[in-house]
Amino acid sequence: PSTVDADAPTWPAEFAERYRAAGHWRGETFGAMLRERAAAHPDRIAIVDPAGGPDGGRRAWTYGELDRRADRLAAGLTARGIGRGDRVVVQLPNTAEFFEVVFALFRIGALPVFALPAHRESEIAYFCSFAEAVAYVIPAEHGGYDYRTLAAVVCAKAPTVRHVLVAGRDAGAFESLADLPAEPVTLSEPAPDALAFLQLSGGSTGTPKLIPRTHDDYIYSLRGSNELCGVTEESVYLCVLPAAHNFPLSSPGTLGTLYAGGRVVLCPSPSPDTAFPLIERERVTITGLVPPLALVWTEAATRTAHDLSSLDVLLVGGAKFSEEAARRVAPALGCTLQQVFGMAEGLVNYTRLDDPAETIVTTQGRPISADDEIRIVDDEDQDLPVGTTGHLLTRGPYTIRGYWRAPEHNRRSFTEDGFYRTGDLVRLTESGHLVVEGRAKDQINRGGEKIAAEEVENHLLAHPAVHDANVVAEPDPYLGERTCAYVILRADAEPVKASALKAFVRGRGLAAYKVPDRVVFTDAFPKTGVGKVSKKDLRAAPAA
Ligand code: J2J
């Protein structure tokens, strides 16, 4: 039986012992990891923030400086009463402060909750309330948006939030990180099997779930990723996707690169106009992209004047990468393509750098660890023969055994013996590689951005004229999938336009990528044999 602590189920003792004996869990923590790297090579560059300097110019922090800054900020946060186990919602863009804040929290043993810059009051107020966050960390402004205004709304809705901390100057009514007290404090290192942070799930229900990751398990996934992606202290990783997302954080991502003693370069925008000059100037060796961006980069690379020859590896994942697009990557960018099929809950699969070219373009890789257990099953949880497409279940040394404070949901999302139900439909090739064939979960994968249908449906249902709503994916040539909302209006309601309904959803304060791309009015939804709405038939509905 698994040890179930109050907040999250963890691995049963016999599994924990096995993972330790195998050398997967080594008792390392993030705080100590940075301390060790800083002691070993204080003057090596850890983080380059191309626009983070006082005049908007390049800023580079060495390992020594990142370590000192994390200590100083940990002291300041401690002075504000933030302590071990406290939750802190962190919503920072790709700037050096992201790492300063996250490592300061790791040192304290407080848990960052990784929000994305695109989230708005609907998501942030929920994270703060559900996690009972004591603090919320924001930029003053980013991408033309004022996060201080958002913070004011969030504070009114989430009374546990005692501190809003602003990275940079112009904190307005709140406090700037730079103004926190700096008197040193002595902190003891958290236990390696303690939670390090809460990651967000892509979600398939009305409210996103929080994913509890430990130092031991996450650091193992970093070490495994580094080995498979060839990340060493010579590597320069360009962080293009939002830093808080699990892919750029850990596959092998910024944290993997810091673990290896390499250099992280933060990309302020994913466009080739920003990224290509940075690759040339900083001699970037590895980066990760979602498929729509990989398409744009591949296209742009064929006519760029920038020297991209330092790039060795391009990871592509987060959504299915089409075989045709995959074939174009290596010739256009002059690097090795590495497909990655991962999830914030744990399991990450990579094609190997030395896999045959056909395997790299036609599969989504295989698990990091020999101790990742994979089952492919039918609707009744019966194992299917190799080669048959079915539901992917997984269990292993860095896959969670349950979401944070969600016992009821956990009974559905995990089998009794602890396998996570990924919601992905996959098949296994003879070579042991996985091919993602589809999805059983009620989610839209909009170019790597995950949207829980139910969450958007709830926003639509809040409109007084809406009787019922169903949100499904429809094909999009660039994004792979986009969202389509099928809506039944109340018989007695004033007619509403699709554009007005979209504006209504946007006005509810949620991430822009969740606003339905298309709204279709209908009189009835197709039903299954037992009378439930058939999303499968809705998806197949002729484009109205
Ligand atoms: C098809 N679907 C994929 C792929 C993820 C590395 C890479 C990605 C994520 C991630 C991550 C896919 N082909 N190559 O955390 O560390 C879909 C699946 C999966 C879900 C997880 C990482 N790569 N997916 O995307 O938690 O449906 O993590 O279950 O955001 O994305 O989403 P997320």
142 lines ligand 1 (CB under 6 A): no
Instruction: Provide the pLDDT confidence category of residue 544 given band limits of 50, 70 and 90.
Output: low
Between the CA of 244 and the centroid of ligand 1 the distance, in Å, is 14
Task: Tell me which of 341, 364, 389, 451 to substitute to probe ligand 1's pocket, judged by most ligand atoms within 8 Å of the beta carbon.
Answer: 341
pLDDT over 70 at 2, yes or no? no
Q: Is 341 in the pocket of ligand 1 (CB under 6 A)?
A: yes
Structural tokens at position 331? 């010739």
Residue 298 Cβ inside 6 Å of ligand 1? The answer reads no
d(CA 335, CA 207): 39
Whether 436 is in the pocket of ligand 1, judged by its Cβ within 6 Å, is: yes
Atom of ligand 1 nearest to the CA of 201: 26
Ligand 1 atom nearest the C-alpha of 221 is: 16
Distance 500 CA to ligand 1 centre (A): 32
Mean pLDDT of 31-56: 96
pLDDT at position 275: 98
Average of per-residue pLDDT across 467-484: 97
Ligand 1 midpoint to CA 343 (Å): 5
Mean pLDDT of 361-369: 98
Q: How far apart are the first and last CA of the chain?
A: 52
Element (H, E) at 221: helix 215-229
Domains, in order of start, for the chain: 443-539 (3.30.300.30)
364 Cβ inside 6 Å of ligand 1: yes
Least confident stretch, 84-88, 181-185, 354-358: 181-185
- Torsion from C-alpha of 492, 493, 497, 499, nearest 10 degrees: -140
Alpha-carbon distance 369 to 114, whole Å?
25
Q: What is the pLDDT of residue 352?
A: 98
Beta carbon of 9 within 6 Å of any ligand 1 atom: no
Q: Residue 3: is its pLDDT beyond 60?
A: no
**SS3 state of residue 428:** strand
Structural tokens at position 286: 């590895």
Asked if residue 319 has its Cβ within 6 Å of ligand 1, the reply is: yes
pLDDT tens string 478-521: 999 999 999 999 999 999 999 999 999 999 999 999 999 999 99
Query: Is there an atom of ligand 1 within 6 Å of 348 CB?
Result: yes
Entry field: residues in the chain = 544
What's the CA-to-centroid distance between 341 and ligand 1, angstroms? 5
pLDDT score recorded for residue 205: 87
450 touches ligand 1 (CB under 6 Å): yes
| pLDDT score recorded for residue 5 | 64
Note whether 520 and 544 are within 8 A (CB).
yes
| CA-nearest residue, atom 32 of ligand 1 | 343
The residue among 206 and 452 whose pLDDT is bigger is 452
* Residue 54 pLDDT: 83
pTM above 0.95, yes or no: yes
Task: Give the tens place of pLDDT for each residue, 6-40.
Answer: 799 999 999 999 999 999 999 999 999 999 999 99
Q: Is 106's pLDDT higher than 80?
A: yes
**pLDDT at position 466 over 70:** yes
> Which atom of ligand 1 is closest in space to residue 365's alpha carbon?
14
Query: In whole numbers, what is the pLDDT of the chain averaged over residues?
Result: 96
CA distances (Å), origin 385, targets 67, 242, 349, 377, 430: 51, 38, 20, 9, 11
- Ligand 1 atom, smallest distance to 450 CA: 30
| Res. 83: pLDDT tops 80 | yes
At 209, which amino acid appears? K
Task: Determine whether the shortest distance from the Cβ of 204 to ligand 1 is under 6 A.
Answer: no
* pLDDT at res. 206: 87
127-164 pLDDT, tens per residue?
Answer: 999 999 999 999 999 999 999 999 999 999 999 999 99
**Residue 543 banded pLDDT, cuts 50, 70, 90:** low
- Ligand 1 neighbour 174 (Cβ under 6 A): no
247 lines ligand 1 (CB under 6 A): yes
Average pLDDT of span 312-331: 98
Taking residues 217-222, what's their average pLDDT? 98
